[in-house]
Amino acid sequence: MATREAFLAKVRAAQPPARPRPDVPLFDTPGGDLRARFTTALQAMGGTCVEAATAGEVSALIRERFGDAVSIASASPEVPGTRALTADTQPASLQDVDVGVVRARFGVAETGSVWFSEREYVVNALGYIVQHLIVLLDPAQMVDGLQDVYRRDDFRDARYAALVTGPSATADIEGVLIRGAQGVRSLTVVWVAA
């Protein structure tokens, strides 16, 4: 047995027995318009929201914002990319991509977050290695708060999941806010029905 397999076998053998997950309580929420709350929370984290009547308009939006020569890797069949993206795509090959496009499964009004799993990203690095992330979000696919996320079947069934809120940012150095320090420089949510 190779060293890697031996190591993984030891880790698996040392796992504690499975136990049921605790119940997550439902907290009171402010209610109101979920889309408006989402937009306010996302903007507070440096993200932006725009409207598109159809997914077909997204390509024009990208070119208008980033130029005609922009490289695009799209995980959504609704928006064509200039770079092919499949499950076999090597993550490092995306290092020179300007824009990544992905459809979020749902949004969280409380935090302005969008939810992705391995199914949405196709290549997990897409959400972190490109310069700008364009997220398609159906306004009908909103949940109120984080406690609602844990009750969803798609959350429990995913091997990998990420809640993303705005572009990468840090203020570690002298308290100066820098966007794109460890990930995408901008995150734009496009409201468009699935």
CATH number, residue 79: 3.40.50.10420
Q: What tokens were used for 170? A: 């840090």
Per the structure, how many domains does the chain have?
1
Give domain status of residue 1, yes or no: no
If phi > 0 it is left, if psi is from -120 to 50 it is alpha, else beta; for residue 67 that is left
> Over the stretch 73-116, which tens digit does the pLDDT of each residue have?
999 999 999 998 999 999 999 999 999 999 999 999 999 999 99
Instruction: Find the domain containing 185 and state its range.
Output: 32-191
Give domain status of residue 19, yes or no: no
pLDDT tops 70 at residue 1: no
Give domain status of residue 22, yes or no: no
Give domain status of residue 5, yes or no: no
Global pTM exceeds 0.75: yes
Sign (positive or negative) of CA dihedral 107, 167, 101, 129: negative
Give domain status of residue 12, yes or no: no
Give domain status of residue 8, yes or no: no
Give domain status of residue 130, yes or no: yes
Give domain status of residue 9, yes or no: no
